[in-house]
Amino acid sequence: MTSRKPRLASRLMWAQVLVVAIGAITPVIAAGVVAPRLFHMHLMQAGVKGNEVLVHAEAAFNSALAIAVTLGVIMSLLAAGAVSWFLVRRISSPIESLAESAQAVASGDYDIATDTHAFSRELQQLTDSFTSMAQQLERSDATRTSMLADLAHEVRTPLATLQAYIDGLEDGVLECDAAAWATMRAQVERLRRLADDIREVAAAEEHALGLKLQPLDINATANSAVEAALPRYRTKGVDLEVSAESEPCRILGDEMRLQQVLANLLDNALRHTPCGGSVRVSVTRGSDIVRITVTDTGEGIPRSQLDSVFRRFHRVDPSRGSGDGSGSGLGLTIARAIVVDHGGAIDASSDGPGSGATFTVRLPLAGSLVP
C-alpha cells in the first residue's frame, strides 16, 4: 500500500516558507555581526571620547537596529507570505484541476470542467491541450459505441439468413442445390465486405489511411473508374457516360484512394438506379478546384436526408435494407473521409424521391504544376 503524498500546494508553500525564512535570517545575522562593528569604527574615527558616551551611543544604535530589523523582517515575512500564498494558489489550482479531470477521464467521464484562466502561457497551453484531448476521446468513444451498435444491426440480417438456410438444410426442408449454396455464399461475401469496410472506415475517420500524394490527372482517374464499372452497369441495363475536360486537370492525390471514392459513388448510383436509367460522370475545372459530379436518374434523396447520407449505415429508406445486398452502407462514409483527407469536400443534392441525385466532389488543383 503506497503512502499518501502531500498536495502540491502544501509542498510549494513549505518551499516558499523555507526560502523566506532563509532570506529573513541572512540579513539579521549580517546586520548583527557587521553593523555594530562598523558603527564602533566610525565612532572611533569621529573622535568620540569617553566610555559613557561610547557605550550610550552603541546601545542606542543596537536598540534602533534591532527594532528596525525586527520590523523589516516582520513586514517582509508578511509580504512574502502573501505573495507566496497567491503564487502557490495560482500555480497549484489549475494543476490540481487537471489531475482531477485526468482521473475523471480515466474512469470514462469526459464531461470535465478545467480552469480556463491559467497563471501562465504554459499552463494555459496544457489546459487547452488536455481539454482538446478529452473532447477527442469523447468523440472517439461515441464513434466506437455507435459503430458497434450499427455493426450489430447490420450483421443480423446475413447471419439470420445463414442460420435459416443451415437449419433448413439440416432439417431437410431445403434442398442442397446450387441456389441454396449461392444464397449462403452471397451472405458470407456480404459479411466479408462489411468487415473490410468497417476496417476501412475506422482508418479513414482516424485519418490513418496513409495517403500517398502525387501529381495526377483527375480526368484519367475518372475515365479509369468508369471503365472498371461498365460491366456491372451493362449487366443491370443502366447507361453510364463520362464527360471530362479536354485539358488535363492536375491535382495532388492518391490515385488508388480517389479510384475508391469514384467506385463507391458509382456503386451507390448503380444500386439506386433502376434498369433503363442512366448515370453520368462529369469533370469540370474551376479557377482553383476541380469538380467531379456523379448524377443518376434513380430513386432520389429526400431533402431532409442530404446531409445524412454520408453517415455510417444510413438508409434513405430503412425498410429496403441495402438494396441488392451488395452495399455495406459504408461506401459514402469512406468516400467523404478520403476526400476530406485530400483537402476537398463532397456533398449530395436531389430534388426529392424519384428525381435522381447528384454527388459532387471538389478537390483543390495543384496550382504550382504546369498542366
Is 176 domain-assigned? yes
Least confident of 7-11, 23-27, 136-140, 351-355: 7-11
Residue range 80-108, pLDDT digits in tens: 777 777 777 777 777 777 777 787 777 77
User: Of 205, 236, 254, which closes a domain?
Assistant: 205
Domain of 313, CATH number, reads 3.30.565.10
The pLDDT confidence band at residue 9, using thresholds 50, 70 and 90, is low
In the prediction, which pLDDT does 53 show?
Answer: 67
3-state helix, strand, coil in the chain (%, to 5): 60, 10, 25
In a domain, 27, yes or no: yes
The pLDDT of residue 1: 44
Residues 218 and 358 in one domain: yes
pLDDT digits (tens, 9 = 90+) for 167-210: 888 888 888 888 888 888 888 887 887 777 777 777 776 666 77
How far is Cα 297 from Cα 274, in angstroms, rounded to an integer? 8
Q: H/E element holding 338?
A: helix 331-341
Name the residue among 353, 349, 316, 311 with its Cα closest to residue 333. 311
pLDDT of residue 38: 75
pLDDT at 330 over 90: no
The confidence score (pLDDT) of residue 324 equals 44
Of residues 103 and 356, the one with the higher pLDDT is: 356
Has residue 25 got a pLDDT over 80? no
Q: Are residues 94 and 236 in the same domain?
A: no
- Tell me if 15 is assigned to some domain: yes
Residue 240 belongs to what H/E stretch?
strand 239-243
Q: Where among 170, 205, 240 does a domain terminate?
A: 205
Looking at per-residue confidence, does 365 or 80 come out higher? 365
Segment among 14-18, 27-31, 317-321 with least mean pLDDT: 317-321
Residue 315 has pLDDT above 70, yes or no: no
Q: What is the pLDDT of residues 120-169, one digit of tens each?
A: 677 777 777 888 888 777 777 776 776 677 667 667 777 888 888 888 88
d(CA 196, CA 121): 45
281 part of a folded domain: yes
**Whether residues 271 and 353 fall in one domain:** yes
Q: Considering the domain boundaries, does residue 119 fall inside one?
A: no
Which one of 46, 79, 112 terminates a domain? Answer: 112
For residue 290, tell me if it sits in a domain.
yes
User: Which of 191-205, 237-251, 284-298 bottoms out in mean pLDDT, i.e. has the lowest?
Assistant: 191-205
Q: Let me know whether 77 and 152 are in one domain.
A: no
Q: What are the Cα distances from residue 4, in Å, to 1, 7, 15, 95, 311?
A: 9, 9, 19, 18, 48
Q: Which domain holds residue 256?
A: 214-364
Please state at what angle helix 331-341 crosses helix 255-271, rounded to 10 degrees. 150
Q: Are residues 101 and 152 in the same domain?
A: no
Element (H, E) at 255: helix 255-271
| Residues 194 and 220 both lie in one domain | no
- Indicate the number of domains in the chain: 3
| Domain identity same for 174 and 275 | no
- Which residues neighbour 68 within 8 Å (Cβ) at sequence distance 6 or greater? none
20-24, 165-169, 366-370: segment of lowest average pLDDT: 366-370
226 and 262 co-located in one domain: yes
Rounded to whole angstroms, how far apart are CA atoms 278 and 297?
Answer: 6
| Distant-in-sequence, close-in-space partners of 260: CB < 8 Å, separation ≥ 6 | 334, 335, 338
Q: Are residues 288 and 338 in the same domain?
A: yes
pLDDT of residue 317: 55
Residues 230 and 333 grouped into a single domain:
yes
Q: The domain that contains 141 carries what CATH number? A: 1.10.287.130
Q: Are strands 239-243 and 278-285 parallel, antiparallel or unpaired?
A: parallel
The answer to whether residue 121 is domain-embedded is: no
**Among 46-50, 70-74, 332-336, 353-357, which is the least confidently predicted range?**
46-50
Residue 371 lies in a domain: no
How far apart CA 73 and CA 85 sit, in angstroms, is 18
Q: Identify whether residues 358 and 220 lie together within a single domain.
A: yes
Q: Are 105 and 243 contained in the same domain?
A: no
Mean pLDDT within 266-282: 93
Q: What is the mean pLDDT of the chain?
A: 79
Q: Tell me the whole-structure pTM to 2 decimals.
A: 0.57
Amino acid at 128: D
